[in-house]
Homo-oligomer: A and B are copies of this chain.
Amino acid sequence: MVFSLTILGCSSAMPSPGRFSTAQVLNVLERFFLIDCGEGTQIQLKRFHIKFTRINHVFISHLHGDHFLGIFGFISSLSLNNRKLPLHIYGPFRLKELIDMFISTMEKGIGFDIIFHPLHYQGNELIFEDDKLTVESFPLRHRVPTCGFIFREKPKLRHLRSLIIKELNIPIRLLQSIKEGEDFYDEDGKMHPNHTLTKEASPARSYAFVSDTAKNPGIVPFIKGVDLLYHEATFSDEGKKRAKETGHSTARQAAEIANRAGVKKLIIGHFSHRYKSLETLLNEAREEFPNTELAIDGIVFDIKEG
């Protein structure tokens, strides 16, 4: 079952040659979540063959242009594609005003509903939940209210040991409860403990998106142990002062956070256009946290099951 992240853009502030502004798509079990939506997101979605129609939820971390300016073209193209399903957008309230004003300029409006979920930017908030997944937001430390997002699979059911299930001839109607951990009593009243009937459930997978932020150890409890962490890394060591001034992080600081949070893998992105090559940033991050990779437009990170 798929749990994969596609980077659509990895540039900070201004797009750089080969790097669009921030946008990502997370595919969790064929649910597609768009995370931030910088200018040109729809161009990147086409380029990387991700169907617009599959995206029902958009999460916008904060109201800086490089994180949301693609939303208007995306909405417009959805409408031209005759979308009927509602689109859920999670973001700062003023974004709703901008979207409403944009739609009011369209002579026929749009043919689908936008359900806007304003974010509050205070503490940890559960902002989405379905049968398989939750999404939470948590506050970051930037120049304007900004949050990160964590996508977590819900705890999964235990795997049946099919041979013993067959041998005991357990009725199908009981299998769900056995997957949930129940024991089984056979016709003779003999109890078969659950661990003899099932194997451990696959671990629930998780992805944390840390958008623009100054170094902030306060986020460690929220992102503790995630399988995959994206953390902005706008500058290299030489830009540390500038990072502090602008509410951003260096690659090394991102890696220090990854380290403290004990995550499994780190992706760094949101690179300043001053860096033509990203080798220095990657090396600095890997000195602190070896399992670091660079965000690159179009790259896909898979988290395998089990």
Known: A39-B43, A40-B40, A101-B97. A73 touches B80 (CB 8 A): no
* Residues 81 to 108 of chain A near chain B (Cβ within 8 Å): 81, 94, 97-98, 101-102, 105-107
B105, A73: Cβ atoms under 8 Å? no
Enumerate A3-44 residues with CB–CB distance to B below 8 Å: 13-17, 20-21, 39-40, 42-43
Nearest Cβ in chain B — how far from A209, in angstroms? 21
Please tell me how many copies of the chain the complex holds: 2
Report Cα–Cα, A69/B99, bound state, in Å.
12
Q: How far is the CB of A182 from chain B (nearest CB, A)?
A: 52
Q: Does A217 interact with chain B (Cβ within 8 Å)? A: no
- Partner of A46 from the list B17, B76, B81, B143 (CB cut-off 8 Å) is B17
A144 contacts which chain B residues (CB < 8 A)? 107
Q: Which residue of B14, B69, B98, B143 is within 8 Å of A101 (Cβ)? A: B98
Residue A63 at the B interface, CB < 8 A? yes
| Residues from chain B with Cβ under 8 Å of A21 in the complex | 73
Chain A interface category by residue count:
20 to 34
A17-B47, A47-B17, A73-B39 as given contacts; A63 in contact with B98, CB under 8 Å: no
Given contacts A72-B69, A107-B144, contact A46 B15 (CB under 8 A): yes
> Which residues of chain B come closer than 8 Å to A13, judged between CB atoms?
76-77, 80
- Within the complex, what minimum Cβ distance (angstroms) separates A257 from chain B? 25
Q: How far does the Cβ of A10 sit from chain B's closest Cβ, in whole Å?
A: 13
Residues of A within 8 A of B (CB): 13-17, 20-21, 39-40, 42-43, 46-47, 63, 65-66, 69-70, 72-73, 76-77, 80-81, 94, 97-98, 101-102, 105-107, 143-144
